Amino acid sequence: MDFKFPDLGEGIAEGKIVKWLVKEGDAVKKDQPVCQVETDKAVVDIPSPQAGKIAKLFFKEDETVHVGKVLFTLDTGDSPPPVDTNQGIVGQTSAAAQEINFRRGSQQTAAISSQVKAMPAVRKLARDLNVDLSRVKGSGPDGRITEDDVRASSKGTAPVPSSPRSEFPKESVQQATGGQPAQKSYGPEDRVPLKGVRAAIARNLMRSLQNSAQATHCDRADVTQLTLLREAQKKEAESQGIKLTVLAYVIKAVAGLLKSHPALNASIDGDNLVYKKYYNLGVAIDTDAGLLVPNIKGADEKSLFDIAKEIKDLADRARDRKLKPEEMQHGTFTLTNVGSIGGTYVTPIINPPESAILGLGRMQQEPVVKDGKIAIVTILYLSLSYDHRIVDGGPAARFMTELVQALEHPKF
């Protein structure tokens, strides 16, 4: 049987073979990892859908494979001889690919043709409207399916776009990624293909800016007492092998406050505002491959030490590209700590489809006036970017005021 590279969802269209864990002629068990594939989200293990013998591997390590292409042929005892179909027309995902998608909880994507080109938001809309994307003709660039196409299909009418529409105008993408129109070179330069994590970041942030009304509220907190509390709890944390950071305290405080500020833990889905009653707080991780944002699931239910431990674990695995795709999905609010690198204030871009992101700036000692006297205190700079379609300035300011109070008078 031919095993085709499955549609893993989240807009992933291709992956790079990092390592084959088997060779031709090897016997494998059902669910045994066969290879590691790097997508623009993470490095994932691809398991064998059935027990059998590896008859043929169709790609070499470091080669890129597109969704629907045959990765390997598995001899299960009744399989025909392996035939390289990668040069022909790609059909729908195989039963083996469907097995992978089922394991990932994506039964809907398993039924969609591997030829489908659609953004995650479009795929979600199709699921909500019960539309089979494999039967929809895309009106976007390069045949990409748009939300209008899906809605038209659900109503039984064909889309009539005035002209092909791009979710990411060429000029805007060039500006966002530092690209320039083709021009004469006036000196040495390096040209690197925009792909992988870098391409995913470009797409997501352009989508965020184009599809939300972003504003930023800045404030600062006197975290002198918080730093003293951290020093007092640091020894206990270290005895448990935990690195206790200020970020952990901020995440704990934010997770508690979001319950009384639901608009900051929300998103827009079509004509609906979705207020999420679960709190998966994302942490932006700076890696050699680019910015990755895994999230702490159920952060409101975890202790300070558990949060600190998970931050370290996610950061380490992000830098080693060992995160699982699901660890970067279903986030509800994001935090980014640029102060650890440098900088006072930041205007972070919202991680779509979330409604807000909190940026932590530099933490430093400063002179302030307290009770009519000059005192030296430790200041933490904070920046909250929010989607003004969902969150007004007043609620954003109240959230920040409460967060500052929680950090200035810590009760962790």
Do 106 and 127 lie in one domain? The reply is no
99 inside domain: yes
Do 224 and 356 lie in one domain? The reply is yes
Do 124 and 100 lie in one domain? The reply is no
**How far, in Å, CA of 310 to CA of 294, rounded?**
10
* pLDDT tens, position by position, 86-145: 544 343 444 444 444 444 444 344 434 445 667 666 777 887 788 888 788 887 766 778
180 inside domain: no
pTM of structure: 0.66
CATH code for the domain of 70:
2.40.50.100
Do 131 and 264 lie in one domain? The reply is no
Do 154 and 6 lie in one domain? The reply is no
62 inside domain: yes
pLDDT < 70: residue spans in the chain: 9-11, 41, 78-117, 119-121, 141-142, 156-184
In this prediction, residue 165 carries a pLDDT of 43
Please return the burial class of 218, using the count of CB atoms within 10 Å of its CB with bins 0-12, 13-18 and 19+.
middle
In this prediction, residue 43 carries a pLDDT of 80
CATH code for the domain of 252:
3.30.559.10
Do 77 and 139 lie in one domain? The reply is no
Do 131 and 67 lie in one domain? The reply is no
Chain mean position to CA 196: 13
401 inside domain: yes
**Residues pairing with 27 in the sheet:** 53
Contact between 133 and 92 under an 8 Å Cβ cutoff? The reply is no
Contact between 41 and 291 under an 8 Å Cβ cutoff? The reply is no
Do 316 and 403 lie in one domain? The reply is yes
Instruction: Find all residues with CB under 8 Å of 208, minimum gap 6, and list them.
Output: 214, 349, 350, 351, 352
Q: What angle do CA 372, 375, 378 make, to 5 degrees?
A: 135
In this prediction, residue 195 carries a pLDDT of 79
**How far, in Å, CA of 202 to CA of 174, rounded?**
10
409 is catalytic: no
What's the number of domains the chain is made of?
3
Do 149 and 287 lie in one domain? The reply is no
Residue finishing a domain among 114, 140, 160: 114
Do 90 and 222 lie in one domain? The reply is no
301 inside domain: yes
CATH code for the domain of 151:
4.10.320.10
195 inside domain: no
In angstroms, what CA-CA distances link 83 with 67, 72, 87, 327? 18, 10, 10, 36
253 inside domain: yes
Amino acid in the structure at residue 177: T
**Residues pairing with 15 in the sheet:** 65
Q: Whole domain around residue 156: which residue ranges?
A: 116-170
In this prediction, residue 11 carries a pLDDT of 59
Q: Is the peptide bond before 161 cis (omega within 30 degrees of 0)?
A: no
149 inside domain: yes
Do 109 and 149 lie in one domain? The reply is no
Q: Which of 206, 351, 353 is nearest to 283 (CA)?
A: 351
Do 161 and 221 lie in one domain? The reply is no
The one catalytic residue in 66, 261, 388, 409 is 388
